[in-house]
Amino acid sequence: MFRTAAEKLLEKEKITMKMTFRWYGEGRDNITLKQIRQIPGMSGLMGVLDEKAAGEVWEEDEIKAYVEHVHEAGLECEVIESVNVHEDIKMGLPTRDKYIENYCTTIRNLAKYGVKVIVYNFMPVFDWLRTDLARVIPEDGSNSLYFDEKELGDMTPVDIVRKTIEDCNGFSLPGWEPERLAELETTLKRYESITPDDLRANYKYFLDGIIPTCEECGVVMACHPDDPAWPIFGLPRIAHSQEDYDKIVALHDSPCNTLCLCTGSLGSNPDNDIPAIIRHFGEMNRIGCLHVRNVKYLGYHKFREAAHLSSDGDLDLYEIMKAVYDTCPDTYIRPDHGRMIWDEVGRPGYGLYDRALGATYINGLWEAICKENKNK
Ligand SMILES: [Mn+2]
């Protein structure tokens, strides 16, 4: 088979990492596929069918239309995010079997259209949490997502949900879909009697139900960490440290049971040594993909999302990319949340400009690391 010089180089230098971008779909994202395609080095998307509720089957015709549309723009669609797990599965209710069956159908349907990695999470109720979606960064006048546990102070979960939905510039936000939050109080009440071990047992039941289907279709599941990386509102949270993930990969031992290593989510807790965690799970072949971004610590349980550049935050992106190169170079990466810069208006965290800068910076680090290793 004919291979271009660039393709041969990829094999030779193991430059197999694929840079991707999150996109919400036509009419749901103010960024176009053409704009994404024009970011240097962009191979494809970490896509999402934003309109799907947790537990619903992603039908073949919907996936086909989405994937073909992405392909027409010259982009791949090998990673899909936010195939949300229904709360009944997390809570271990008798109705879970039906939702697990639906999940398997979705996996099969996605595999038919070339999807290789599915990103999901097993966080009760809250996908992620911030106290401000547009905190101005005094140094340069841009803004970014921000968290201060003190500001959470007297806010109830219902207050914070209301505030988050109000602050999101009219876009729906992943993890904050109104239908998931409609029964918030009942759901929170139910979780009062669920311990982290119970949640892990329900997680195992879910993995035992879906991983054989993944193995059949060649799809890898990648579990996104809790964000921020500690318990909130007394809810059981089981995915925010190396120790937690050791338990998760042991729940069902399979190369299809992996993590989506989100440097910013795990990195919100300074106790997490991100390059070391990447090396640990990369060596075990348990990293399905990565979200790469930076955070700036401002105090105890207080941080903001920074530009990707190492010197702008507290994570060392060079060490992070070296750990990827050494242990899991054949992976998918996307720049994660960016700041809002250059007066852009868009989904908090998901503007075009700062994420494009992030991708370019990560690609620059990658090129340097590859060449540095070649010369050794
Ligand atoms: Mn992430």
68-110 pLDDT tens trace = 999 999 999 999 998 999 999 999 999 999 999 999 999 999 9
The one catalytic residue among 86, 224, 252, 308 = 224
**Phi then psi for 89, rounded to 5 degrees?**
-70, -45
Measure the CA–CA gap between 328 and 196, rounded to whole angstroms: 29
Q: Are 231 and 269 in contact (CB under 8 A)?
A: no
Query: Domain for residue 372, yes or no?
Result: no
Residue 375 CA to ligand 1 centre (angstroms): 33
Q: Would you say residue 370 lies in a domain?
A: no
Q: Is 337 among the residues known to form the active site?
A: yes
What are the strands of the beta sheet with 294-299, ordered from one edge? 132-136, 143-148, 302-306, 294-299
Distance between CA 373 and CA 359 in Å, rounded? 21
On whether residue 204 sits in a domain, the answer given is: yes
Tens digit of pLDDT for each residue in 208-232?
999 999 999 999 999 999 999 998 8
203, 332, 350, 361: the active-site residue: 350
Domain total of the chain: 1
Lowest mean pLDDT: which of 87-91, 92-96, 186-190, 370-374? 186-190
For residue 228, how far is its CA from the centre of ligand 1 (angstroms)? 10
Is 371 contained in some domain?
Answer: no
Select which of 291, 308, 328, 361 is catalytic: 291
Domain containing residue 312: 5-358
Band of residue 16 on the pLDDT scale cut at 50, 70, 90? confident
In a domain, 240, yes or no: yes
Q: The tokens of 137 are what?
A: 């960064």
Q: Provide the whole-model pTM.
A: 0.92
Mean per-residue pLDDT of the chain: 91
Q: Rg for the chain (alpha carbons), in Å?
A: 20
224 is catalytic: yes
* CATH number for the domain that contains residue 275: 3.20.20.150
Residues of the chain above pLDDT 90, percent: 74
Residue 311 lies in a domain: yes
366 within some domain = no
Question: Is the residue at 369 inside a domain?
Answer: no
DSSP-derived secondary structure letter, 113:
T
Tell me the CA–centroid distance for residue 2 and ligand 1, in Å: 37
CA–centroid distance, 363 to ligand 1, in Å, is: 18
Whether the link from the prior residue into 228 is cis, omega within 30° of 0, is: yes
- Is 262 part of the annotated catalytic residue set? yes
> What distance in Å separates the CA atoms of residue 161 and residue 178, rounded to the nearest whole number?
9
Please say if 291 is a catalytic residue.
yes
